[in-house]
A and B are shown apart, each in its own frame.
Chain A
């Protein structure tokens, strides 16, 4: 059974703290993604990675960084948490597909609801 596992379901942090959200997949996927989900805004891409040590900015990278030292693990880092980063965070992974390739559905973790107080 395919699995994407996020380290926490719920997290409460204080403003200014450094926060690490961890994501691990066991499917040998090249691609990994971090999204935040807010009502009315859908899923917005923060960062993604298509290989170890490779990262690409998504649409809302400000205030976030990522780390991918091993293929199976993709970490999202909030350098100094702020209240506007209170949100649901979703990690996903998929196989890499070259240009013109076919279906590569993404598999999602269960999400981390982060509250910054």
Chain B
């Protein structure tokens, strides 16, 4: 069965520093996709970054990068040069599995990030 694990319930970082949010996943299917979403206190879900299981390079989107280690089944999010507006809940998600034509999308428990000035 598919599973996403985020072991850090809360993290804090100083403004302008980098921070890594951990995510490990479990699946027996070689084809899957990994996502990170941000949920500010307003409640909306904001897509940040995507990594496909067959992608050779780590995904990057502006200050966000995904440290994809396939053998370890980890997909950590790295936020560089943290800003106060980065304070939010962050969710790791995985698409895959035989159900629904490989389109089942599951999420982890999330990590709450606090950026301190």
How many Å lie between the Cα of A94 and that of B102 in the bound state?
Answer: 13
Pick the interface stretch among B13-21, B67-75, B79-87, B107-115.
B107-115
B30-79 with Cβ < 8 A to chain A: 31, 33, 35, 43-45, 47, 50, 52, 54
- Can you spell out 29 A-B residue pairs with CB atoms less than 8 angstroms apart? A31-B105, A40-B109, A42-B107, A43-B107, A44-B107, A45-B106, A45-B107, A48-B103, A48-B104, A48-B105, A50-B101, A54-B100, A59-B106, A90-B45, A96-B103, A97-B33, A97-B103, A98-B101, A99-B31, A99-B102, A100-B31, A101-B102, A102-B52, A104-B103, A106-B45, A106-B105, A107-B47, A110-B43, A110-B44
User: What CA separation (Å) do A43 and B99 show in the bound complex?
Assistant: 18
Question: Is A108 in the interface zone, CB < 8 Å from B?
Answer: yes
Nearest neighbor of B92 in chain A, beta-carbon distance: A42
Interface size on A, residues (CB 8 A): 36
Shortest C-beta distance, A88 to chain B (Å), equals 8
Binding site for A on B (CB under 8 A): 6, 9, 31, 33, 35, 43-45, 47, 50, 52, 54, 91, 93, 95, 99-110
Q: Of A31, A90, A103, which one neighbours B50 at CB under 8 angstroms?
A: A103
Write out the residue numbers on chain B whose beta carbons fall within 8 Å of the beta carbon of A31. Answer: 100, 103, 105
Cβ–Cβ contact B101 & A100, under 8 A: no
Q: A56-B104, A100-B31, A102-B33 are in contact. Are A42 and B6 (CB under 8 A)?
A: yes
Task: Indicate if A35 sits at the interface (CB-CB under 8 A).
Answer: yes
Beta-carbon nearest neighbor of A95 in chain B: B103
- Most chain B CB within 10 A, of A107, A108, A110, is at A108
B73 CB to nearest chain A CB (Å): 18
Residues of A69-117 contacting chain B, CB below 8 A:
88, 90, 92, 94, 96-108, 110-111
Nearest chain A residue, comparing its CB with the CB of B1: A59
List B contacts of A45 (CB < 8 A).
Answer: 104-107
A76 nearest CB across to chain B (Å): 16
User: Are A42 and B109 closer than 8 Å at their CB atoms?
Assistant: yes
